[in-house]
A and B are shown apart, each in its own frame.
Chain A
Amino acid sequence: MTSFLKNVRESLTPTLKQSAFLQRGVLTPEEFVKAGDELVHQCPTWSWEGASDESKSRSHLPKNKQYLVTRNVPCKERCSEMEKGASSLGMMKEDGDGWMLEDDGKGGDDDDFDFVDEGDSEKPPSQAEPTTSPVAVVDDDDEYADIDEFEDDTLVTDTAALTVADNILAVRTYDVMISYDKYYQTPRVWLSGYSESRSPLSGDEMFEDCMSDYVKRTVTIESFPYTAAVVISIHPCQHGNVMKNIVGNLTQGEGGGEIVVEQYMFVFLKFVASMIPTINYDFTNAVETGGGSGK
Chain B
Amino acid sequence: MSTGGGASITLQFPPLKSSISSSFWLKLLKHKLEIMKLDETPIKIKGYCRVGTGIVEFLEDSLLFEEEGSSSVDCLRNECVCFDGEILLLNTKEQFKNLNKNTHLSSTHQTQIITYADLKTHQIIYWSSFPTLPGLITSSGVTPLVCDYIIKDVNVDDLDELYESLRVRDKGYAPGYFWYGGGEIKIIEEVVEEDLNVVGGRFGCLSTISGNNNPWSLRVLIAKMQRFKLPEEVEVVVYETVLRRLEVEGGEYLESKEEKRNSKGRGFKFNTSTWVETEGEGVGVVGWEMNGKGKPGPRSVNLKNNMDQESLAEQSA
Interface size of B by CB at 8 A reads 78
Are B306 and A155 within 8 A (Cβ)? Answer: no
Are B287 and A46 within 8 A (Cβ)? Answer: no
Are A114 and B251 within 8 A (Cβ)? Answer: yes
Given the complex of chains A and B, what is the CA–CA distance between A144 and B126 in angstroms? 13
Are B125 and A46 within 8 A (Cβ)? Answer: no
User: Which residue from chain B places its CB closest to the CB of A203 in the assembled complex?
Assistant: B315
Are B61 and A52 within 8 A (Cβ)? Answer: yes
Given the complex of chains A and B, what is the CA–CA distance between A224 and B252 in angstroms? 31
A137 and B302 contact, Cβ closer than 8 Å, known pairs A44-B243, A152-B297, A160-B286: yes
Given the complex of chains A and B, what is the CA–CA distance between A224 and B27 in angstroms? 14
Q: Does any Cβ of A come within 8 Å of B264's Cβ? A: no
Of A113, A192, A198, A199, the residue contacting B251 (CB under 8 A) is: A113
User: Which residue from chain A places its CB closest to the CB of B306 in the assembled complex?
Assistant: A230
Q: Does any Cβ of B come within 8 Å of A149's Cβ? A: yes
A159 and B14 contact, Cβ closer than 8 Å, known pairs A43-B244, A153-B296: no
* Inter-chain contacts of B23 with A (CB < 8 A): 52, 224, 227-229
In the assembled complex, the CB of B1 is this many whole angstroms from the nearest CB of chain A, namely 25
Of A40, A158, A216, the residue contacting B286 (CB under 8 A) is: A158
In the assembled complex, the CB of A196 is this many whole angstroms from the nearest CB of chain B, namely 8
A: residues with CB less than 8 A from B are 40, 43-47, 52, 71-74, 111-115, 129-130, 133-135, 137-138, 141, 143-144, 147-166, 168-169, 173, 175, 192, 194, 196-200, 202-204, 216, 220-221, 224, 227-230, 280, 283, 295
List 20 A-B residue pairs with CB atoms under 8 Å apart, sorted by A's residue number: A113-B252, A130-B292, A134-B301, A135-B292, A147-B298, A148-B300, A158-B16, A161-B14, A192-B21, A194-B19, A198-B20, A199-B300, A204-B315, A220-B316, A228-B30, A228-B60, A229-B22, A280-B246, A283-B246, A295-B244
B: residues with CB less than 8 A from A are 11-23, 25-27, 30, 50, 53, 55, 57, 59-61, 77-79, 93, 97, 101-102, 105, 118, 121, 123, 125, 129-130, 136, 138, 212, 219, 243-246, 248-253, 255-256, 285-288, 290, 292-306, 311-312, 315-316
